Structure 1
């Protein structure tokens, strides 16, 4: 939306700034930055422990971050390089504050508070103080933001960096300077190194500059900066491409509905005459960052499934900006009879968010519960029982707290995860697994719910031996897994080979 700045009436006079282009006051900036950040911090701290539970992806972070830096480096070279920087950051935090649920999740809470502050200032710069304040508050309330603000992964950090990179981009357009472009480029590169799909926000920024018809010198400066980001990211992309098994679990788009709803709502908001204050209007920035990353990832999923909602969490920046600007527009509407309607709609929206916000703070809000899985293994197992994971890659789900499995013998394990520099360890050949299973009278198995049927020899040896020589005694279902106790079908107890999971000695 272009500004209509009229020519001065008399020679030498200075045209007055339109009301929407007035420079924001220090008080306006403080409110747009501080209130959303404070609100996001309070919302993030609310129920942060989630009843002292941890889900599978967080369990991986928790376990890897406690390894030595050299072990982390050797592990990510084999698997999960895309999260290497986050594991390194969390290792430092654990060293400083100790490993625990709070130190695992607080960085994400603080990151979302920083993101809300960035969204508030970005909205202020694009559409005015009230729009910025409302955008920051809306951002903190979005269900996806609430969810990943309480998760020990990198997505909240990426979201914060992209929010501030977007602010740096708008500032660079208005006032040229190499240091501004350097700040933008370094922030974007850091976001991409935390998660390489953050590069999709870089593409959205390019579209913003094109549709805003920015001068060629600005496009050139952005092009040079973007090239630097891509070059800096390239080694990570090349190496992580060889670790594609990390996303092999994605069978199709995972939870695309929230993004699709946000896109529809955002486009409807963008059709209103939203206030604009500068060379880039709010729709030109918000719509591309809302629509383009998800659209590109969904398109790529036609070839190889890659879309997961949290990979494009930063798209919520776009819907927050559009909703904030639209609410500001509604507040400026005349006649005043529309104002009660706006208030009623806002109260109804807040009330509708309450059940969702409450459910996000329960263990059932995640696809599994590693804490409950480990506790169920500890409860069902007896000292000397065998332990079997179906499949082996899910060993991380019961390894968060070693005490849960200390008195059981992991029948398939040849090398533990730390020794082998892997996430789930190295398993024995199929024949050896079957032979060890036959030495035990009782075996506790961990089977992840909705897991794909695996056909590799080791998994086949586990299931065949259980089917032919054991019978199911009890099954405990927890969030995301089944813990089953099997006993030998012939009822003849064999003396088990007891192996300490820590030292590896047999008795």
Structure 2
């Protein structure tokens, strides 16, 4: 690593370069952390993590094994404070750690100011801020990947094997948090190849990487049998690539174009033989995991932006290196134009503070351009749904004893996350609870029993995911098909209330001439007390 000097001033500069991004990322992560509601994925974390360890283990045999380690970790986190803030705090800490580790990589691979700029750029990127406030594993995976990359750099420059043991353990834990993080190993192998390192380094890395893959292999086998969970994913296209690129570099045009220019400057550096440079580390990290996953997903859809969040770390490192290269070129041009060349030490002392402040100012300008997006991201509307709002709306409409039908069964997540709004309601289709059945949303009755239960109802409330109400949706299970058939054939829509991600409908049985009980069934009307017989 190149240093601008020696002794205490350099140490202080390195500490500041790492600590400041951590504090900035913490501030953004804690800002507006309590949004007033969880969305569907966070609700899955919340309701699973609050189960006992044997119950979580039972669930993982049926579904969501890929998140098993994260659920067990969150079980310990939520044991003392089962709230939404506690749910998201690990992600805030993970994002802050990732920002600090990105800065540490810049410090070690280049110089303190590059580390400072890279860490700050990471902290103000809307994508990093978004997942810092998600009650899911992705920010922790990003921190683990950045930590493993830093250990890789240390291992290459170390003569001992202890660092490689730590590297293998870090990669294994990161991959157990989300198995697609295994693509990190491909990026690291490319880094070693670009640096043309000796066989000794390759052997040590191979043992560490092989151990991590061995630890991960049982999870891969189990999760492969649960691949139906990602059946909702679609094949990525060029728009997917563009969205990811803008998520990495900044979605606003005033930031996006200069960012790409600086990244290009950071990449266009020759890699000396036997030396791990910043470009050799950051470029494969930014490019290869997304590129491989997107390519594979053209045939077997597995790609989602959140699955490659950890690759974001490469972008600010390259942009910071490009900024440093540009600043040095401007300084040299200025000196030639002035015709003065002060001694090297004095010239360096003049350049460094000015360049560092100029870089921080550039980051501040990027933050200013993207600040509206960061503000919007602190509102529930930036998530696909708000289950707290759904539960509140249901609570205002339903009365004790009212029958409720969920279409499909996963629409039950609002009742599991926020049961207050559904208190006293009768879940018509449910046979076994989510906890007892070892599933996310419970086990429902078969089609014959469900028909029998619906036959005795005068009205039913339907809580439906929007896609389930579209004419082109064809349910895969007989129970879901019976729900659609009976509602369509025997009931009439009376009211509808839409909330983001969920639609609440009231269906009233329509009279039939051959129904002997038609005279006994009331006509329902709305009053201040709710739904009452006319």
TM-score (norm 1): 0.88
Matched, 1:183 2:179: no
Q: Residue 55 of structure 1 contacts residue 366 of structure 1 at CA under 8 Å; is this kept in 2? A: yes
Partner of 2:135: 152
Q: When the two structures are aligned, how many residues end up with a matched partner?
A: 477
Deviation at 1:20, TM superposition (A): 6.2
Partner of 1:329: 325
> Which of 267, 272, 279 is residue 275 of structure 2 equivalent to?
279
Q: Distance in 1 between matches of 2:361 and 2:157?
A: 38
The 1:422–1:107 alpha-carbon spacing in structure 2 relative to 1, beyond 3 Å, is: same
The 1:389–1:418 alpha-carbon spacing in structure 2 relative to 1, beyond 3 Å, is: same
Q: Distance in 2 between matches of 1:454 and 1:287?
A: 44
Partner of 1:376: 393
Matched, 1:458 2:479: yes
Matched, 1:234 2:234: no
Deviation at 1:364, TM superposition (A): 1.2
Q: Distance in 2 between matches of 1:304 and 1:72?
A: 29
Q: Distance in 2 between matches of 1:347 and 1:180?
A: 36
Q: Residue 253 of structure 1 contacts residue 306 of structure 1 at CA under 8 Å; is this kept in 2? A: no
User: Following superposition of structure 1 onto structure 2, how do residues 312-351 of structure 1 map, counting pairs within 5 Å?
Assistant: 312-332=308-328, 333-334=330-331, 335=333, 346-351=363-368
Partner of 2:22: 37
User: Following superposition of structure 1 onto structure 2, how do residues 10-409 of structure 1 map, counting pairs within 5 Å?
Assistant: 25-50=10-35, 52-95=36-79, 97-253=80-236, 256-261=241-246, 262=248, 265=260, 268-273=264-269, 279-332=275-328, 333-334=330-331, 335=333, 346-409=363-426
Q: Distance in 2 between matches of 1:201 and 1:275?
A: 20
Deviation at 1:468, TM superposition (A): 1.2
The 1:117–1:132 alpha-carbon spacing in structure 2 relative to 1, beyond 3 Å, is: same
Q: Distance in 2 between matches of 1:202 and 1:210?
A: 12
1:376-429 CA deviation, whole Å, 9 max, x = no partner? Answer: 222222222111111112322331122221211111111110111111111111
Partner of 1:470: 491
Q: Distance in 2 between matches of 1:134 and 1:350?
A: 12
Q: Residue 155 of structure 1 contacts residue 310 of structure 1 at CA under 8 Å; is this kept in 2? A: yes
Q: Distance in 2 between matches of 1:256 and 1:388?
A: 39
Segment drifting more, 77-86 vs 243-252 = 243-252
Q: Distance in 2 between matches of 1:277 and 1:348?
A: 37
Segment drifting more, 66-75 vs 30-39 = 30-39
Q: Residue 197 of structure 2 contacts residue 274 of structure 2 at CA under 8 Å; is this kept in 1? A: no
Deviation at 1:276, TM superposition (A): 9.6
SS at match of 2:504: strand
Q: Which has the higher helix share?
A: 2
Matched, 1:484 2:466: no
Q: Distance in 2 between matches of 1:478 and 1:281?
A: 51
The 1:276–1:121 alpha-carbon spacing in structure 2 relative to 1, beyond 3 Å, is: farther
Q: Residue 93 of structure 1 contacts residue 103 of structure 1 at CA under 8 Å; is this kept in 2? A: yes
Q: Residue 126 of structure 1 contacts residue 277 of structure 1 at CA under 8 Å; is this kept in 2? A: no
1:435-466 CA deviation, whole Å, 9 max, x = no partner? Answer: 21222222111111235542421111111111
Partner of 1:440: 457
SS at match of 1:450: helix
Q: Distance in 1 between matches of 2:270 and 2:365?
A: 23
Deviation at 1:494, TM superposition (A): 5.4
1:149-179 CA deviation, whole Å, 9 max, x = no partner? Answer: 0011111111111111110100011112111
SS at match of 1:25: helix
Measured on the aligned residues, the alpha-carbon RMSD in Å equals 2.6
The 1:493–1:410 alpha-carbon spacing in structure 2 relative to 1, beyond 3 Å, is: farther
SS at match of 2:50: coil
SS at match of 1:78: coil
SS at match of 1:177: coil
Deviation at 1:213, TM superposition (A): 0.9
Gaps of 5+ in 1: 1-16, 496-507
SS at match of 2:233: coil
SS at match of 1:399: helix
Q: Residue 13 of structure 2 contacts residue 112 of structure 2 at CA under 8 Å; is this kept in 1? A: yes
Partner of 1:3: none
SS at match of 2:467: coil
SS at match of 1:472: strand
Q: Residue 267 of structure 2 contacts residue 283 of structure 2 at CA under 8 Å; is this kept in 1? A: no
Q: Distance in 2 between matches of 1:149 and 1:457?
A: 40
Q: Distance in 2 between matches of 1:493 and 1:404?
A: 30
Q: Distance in 2 between matches of 1:454 and 1:492?
A: 34
Segment drifting more, 307-316 vs 485-494 = 485-494
Q: Residue 269 of structure 2 contacts residue 279 of structure 2 at CA under 8 Å; is this kept in 1? A: no
Q: Distance in 2 between matches of 1:79 and 1:278?
A: 45
The 1:203–1:275 alpha-carbon spacing in structure 2 relative to 1, beyond 3 Å, is: closer
1:271-298 CA deviation, whole Å, 9 max, x = no partner? Answer: 4559999921111111111111111111
The 1:346–1:41 alpha-carbon spacing in structure 2 relative to 1, beyond 3 Å, is: closer
Gaps of 5+ in 2: 250-258, 338-353, 512-517, 523-534
The 1:342–1:411 alpha-carbon spacing in structure 2 relative to 1, beyond 3 Å, is: same
